[in-house]
Structure formats: structure tokens, C-alpha cells
């Protein structure tokens, strides 16, 4: 969550104002600094300006979708190490595999709860304990 330089900075990219606002509220309550972007092009500009520690990126957006945005970031040495968690209402194996191919660290299905997004943020910004096998998916069927 917090680093030696203050709270972790999270970029939330989604074309839905409702999703952006929900994610912002949940993440701020979890102690994160939040930057918002409304599409992939906006995200690419804000990554350069704000240097986030983590990116939550919607899959289906106009102009530049989440897979393309993630792939562009992963091809740039400056940003390749920033973990990207894909956000989507699609829950299929193909969709998750496509996110991994683009370079995503994880995949979170919408609608998400506060617990789910905070767990995904924590597990993406902190090194996992070797052998823990933990994932935000472990929280999917637990109490929201």
C-alpha cells in the first residue's frame, strides 16, 4: 500500500464514470493515491505524468482498448515493470488468457467489491510470499 515515498499511486482506466468513481473511492479508502483516465490514450499520457505503481485497466474502451494499452506499456522499457490488472465484465478463459498475452499481471471481473479491488491492489504492489499461491481470485467467492 504505502512505500517509503508515501502511498502507492494507482491509475484507474475505464470509460465508465461509475466504475472509475467506485474504484477511486475504494482505493482511496484503502490508502492509495488514485489517478483517473477515461481511455487508453488518456492512460498513456497520464502514465508519463504520474508514474503509477499499479494500473487497473478496463478491457473494452473506445479508441484504444485495454489489451492494446497494456501491450503498448509493456513494450516500453520505462513502464514495462508497472503491474497492470485488467478490468472486465467478461469472465472467460479466453479473455483472461488474452490479458496475460498482453502482459497483464492479473484480471479482475466487474462488478468488483471493495475487498476484491483492494486485495488485487495489495497483491500487485507487494511481492507475494513464495509458494503462497494467493491471488485476488481467492476473494471472489468470499464475503464481499
Q: Tens digit of pLDDT per residue, the chain (144 long)?
A: 555 678 999 999 999 999 999 999 999 999 999 999 999 999 999 999 999 999 999 999 999 999 999 999 999 999 999 999 999 998 889 999 999 999 999 999 999 999 999 999 999 987 544 444 444 444 444 444
Q: Residue 9 has what pLDDT?
A: 98
State how far the Cα of 4 lies from the Cα of 18, in Å rounded to an integer.
Answer: 32
Look up the CATH superfamily of 8-128: Response regulator (3.40.50.2300)
Q: What's the whole-model pTM score?
A: 0.85
Question: Which residues share a beta bridge with 57?
Answer: 13, 86
Amino acid at each position: 500500500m504505502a512505500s517509503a515515498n508515501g502511498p502507492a499511486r494507482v491509475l484507474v482506466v475505464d470509460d465508465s464514470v461509475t466504475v472509475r468513481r467506485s474504484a477511486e473511492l475504494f482505493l482511496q479508502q484503502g490508502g492509495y493515491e488514485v489517478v483517473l483516465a477515461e481511455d487508453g490514450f488518456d492512460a498513456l499520457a497520464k502514465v508519463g505524468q504520474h508514474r503509477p505503481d499499479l494500473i487497473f485497466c478496463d478491457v473494452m474502451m473506445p479508441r484504444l482498448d485495454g489489451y492494446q494499452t497494456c501491450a503498448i506499456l509493456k513494450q516500453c522499457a520505462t513502464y514495462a515493470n508497472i503491474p497492470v490488472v485488467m478490468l472486465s465484465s467478461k469472465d472467460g478463459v479466453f479473455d483472461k488468457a488474452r490479458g496475460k498475452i498482453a502482459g497483464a499481471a492479473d484480471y479482475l471481473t466487474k462488478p468488483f467489491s471493495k475487498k476484491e479491488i483492494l486485495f488485487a491492489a495489495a497483491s500487485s504492489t507487494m511481492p507475494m510470499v513464495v509458494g503462497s499461491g494467493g491471488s485476488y481470485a481467492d476473494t471472489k467467492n468470499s464475503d464481499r
